[in-house]
Amino acid sequence: MKENEIFIRIRYGETDQMGVVHHGNYALYLEMGRTEWLRTFGISYSQMEREGVMLPVISMALNYKKSAYYDDVVKVKTQLKKTPSVKIEFEYEITNEAGEILVQANTVLAFINMKTRRPMKCPDYILDKL
């Protein structure tokens, strides 16, 4: 399915004393990947929220293969797993400059109506763009 790639330079504050990226930062990298993935289709979180749609993460799984280090440039590849319904699912692969896989991940997000705080179908304007 449709995919997008972004590049991130690892900042000092994202690492521990050994210069290794702290595991919690990968959730932010995934968010950056899917935010930019949506943006490539002319969709933004702020636009969705103005239209009354929230998109919280309901599931996240990460499989760590190798470490990333301070000042590395990593590539976050984000791919839509299947056509969205009430949920939207992404798969990710984070690699280093040598092309080695550092992390493989998956997230599932739910479309939530901001007024009712109940699940809703993926808006048609998003489906049309995909």
Which residues form the catalytic set? Answer: 16
Alpha carbons 93 and 80: distance in angstroms, whole number: 12
Neighbours of 74 (CB within 10 A): 20
Place of tokens 């504050």: 13
Angle (CA) 111-82-35 rounded to 5° is: 55
Measured between alpha carbons, how far is residue 14 from residues 11, 28, 66, 113 in Å? 6, 10, 16, 34
